[in-house]
Amino acid sequence: MTDKKPLFRKGDQGPAVVEICDRLLRIGAIKKASNVIDETVEAAIKEFQQSRGITVDGIVGPETFRRLEEARWSLGDRILSHTPGHLIHGDDVSVLQRKLSDFGFDAGRIDGIFGKDTENALKELQKSTGIPVDGVCGPTVFKAIERLNRVVVGGTPEQYREELHHLPRKTGVSDKVIVIDPGHGGEDQGLLGHALTESFVAADISQKVEGKLAALGTTVLLTRLAKTTQIIDEQQRAVFANNSFADLVVSIHADAIKSATGNGCASYYFGNEALGQKSSMGQRFANLVQSEIVHTVGLKDCRTHAKTWDLLRMTRMPAVRIEVGYLSNQHDAVQLANANVRDLIATSIAEAIISFFEPEKN
């Protein structure tokens, strides 16, 4: 319909009116089809004009008709791209722009018109998710947005971007690089209790995890050898993980305190509530591994917590530190002294890593 076309108002009927009513019906503005602009249809037109911020007169002229045309598109209905000279208009473009903006990409004004700013923001999204950077909003982008809608509700741009970054990595564990970090080592034996050293427990569980994942084809890198003499600090371990382009870092420690009754397993991810910082993927993996260990091994659940320790803060990938139990506690120490239990802990950690990278079914 061009600007030359007539206006349609109350009492009019004919093929064009049928089309107008069909559009109103499709966006839910009227309840049933009509071939005449009666009172109900006129009211629906007015309501639609009001909701779009255009002149409310109940008459369908070129602008109202164009807006009805735009309103019929939902994100995913058609491929969107920047087409100079003939820009795509539509509600699907508005939704895309809103999403890009929520994810922290600057799409400019949310006006429902696919312009250069929208294209640039879309390319940023594609770059960060590792999908081809062509500025075209097609099935891969629809899928990424759909998934984010499912997993992140009212998230921050950082959370959205971490999710977007993780999405293309959910292709199974076999092509991943996992850094396993046995705490302490060398002169530094870590904490002590019931004749067990933290460095031994950490190294043994780490080696067991390495064996289980290596069998699946995963590249597993340990930050230290079991019998190292060197002391490697947390910053060096973080640099090692970054230089290895690891997909995930799992650091293994054990705890000990003065009180003999303190017991259980806890997992830590990067975050500081006071500063509003949080690695949502770190938290997700921490929750996975924590529940896996607690349910499989039967250690007390001391839950997951946000911390800003160097290893968690300086790594550029999700990183989690697990305190597998208290050496100072009789029950936990007996468990950790048992090679079968350490193997069970290693299995739980490997299982959590597998499910973290498991492809999504849909």
Q: How far apart are CA 291 and CA 268, in angstroms?
A: 13
Closer CB to Zn ion, residue 96 or residue 241? 241
Q: How far apart are CA 87 and CA 264, in angstroms?
A: 60
Q: Which of residues 168-187 bind Zn ion (CB under 5 A)?
A: 183
Closer CB to Zn ion, residue 65 or residue 270? 270
Closer CB to Zn ion, residue 135 or residue 190? 190
Among 90, 190, 264, 325, the residue binding Zn ion under the rule CB under 5 A is 190
Closest by CA to 164, choosing from 126, 135, 137, is 126
Closest by CA to 349, choosing from 244, 218, 258, is 218
Which residue's structure tokens are 């933290």?
A: 198
Cα 23 off chain centre by? 36
Q: How far apart are CA 202 and CA 210, in angstroms?
A: 12
Query: Least distance from C-beta 224 to Zn ion, angstroms?
Result: 13
Query: Least distance from C-beta 182 to Zn ion, angstroms?
Result: 10
Q: Which stretch binds Zn ion (CB under 5 A): 85-93, 99-107, 213-221, 247-255?
A: 247-255
Query: Least distance from C-beta 191 to Zn ion, angstroms?
Result: 6
Query: Least distance from C-beta 183 to Zn ion, angstroms?
Result: 4
Query: Least distance from C-beta 202 to Zn ion, angstroms?
Result: 7
Query: Least distance from C-beta 238 to Zn ion, angstroms?
Result: 15
* CB atoms closer than 10 angstroms to residue 276: 9
Closer CB to Zn ion, residue 118 or residue 223? 223
Question: If residue 326 lies in a helix (H) or strand (E), which one and from where to where?
Answer: strand 319-326
Q: How far apart are CA 311 and CA 277, in angstroms?
A: 15
φ, ψ for residue 34 (rounded to 5)?
Answer: -150, 155
Q: How far apart are CA 264 and CA 245, in angstroms?
A: 32
Among 67, 208, 237, 253, the residue binding Zn ion under the rule CB under 5 A is 253
Nearest residue to Zn ion, by Cβ distance, number only: 253
Q: Which stretch binds Zn ion (CB under 5 A): 29-37, 71-79, 115-123, 246-254?
A: 246-254
Closer CB to Zn ion, residue 23 or residue 224? 224
Q: Which stretch binds Zn ion (CB under 5 A): 36-44, 68-76, 252-260, 311-319?
A: 252-260
Closer CB to Zn ion, residue 48 or residue 268? 268
Q: Which stretch binds Zn ion (CB under 5 A): 8-16, 60-68, 131-139, 190-198?
A: 190-198
Q: Residue 214 is encoded by which pair of tokens?
A: 């290596």
Closer CB to Zn ion, residue 190 or residue 325? 190
Closer CB to Zn ion, residue 247 or residue 323? 323
Q: Residue 336 is encoded by which pair of tokens?
A: 């950790």
Q: How far apart are CA 193 and CA 186, in angstroms?
A: 18
Query: Least distance from C-beta 83 to Zn ion, angstroms?
Result: 58
Q: How many helices (H) and strands (E) does the chain have?
A: 13, 9
Query: Least distance from C-beta 236 to Zn ion, angstroms?
Result: 15
Query: Least distance from C-beta 163 to Zn ion, angstroms?
Result: 30
Number of residues forming the site for Zn ion (CB under 5 A): 3
Question: If residue 14 lies in a helix (H) or strand (E), which one and from where to where?
Answer: none
Sign of CA dihedral 287, 293, 294, 296: positive
224: contact with Zn ion by CB under 5 A: no
Q: Residue 317 is encoded by which pair of tokens?
A: 């990938």
Q: Residue 172 is encoded by which pair of tokens?
A: 């199974």
Chain residues that interact with Zn ion, rule: CB under 5 A:
183, 190, 253
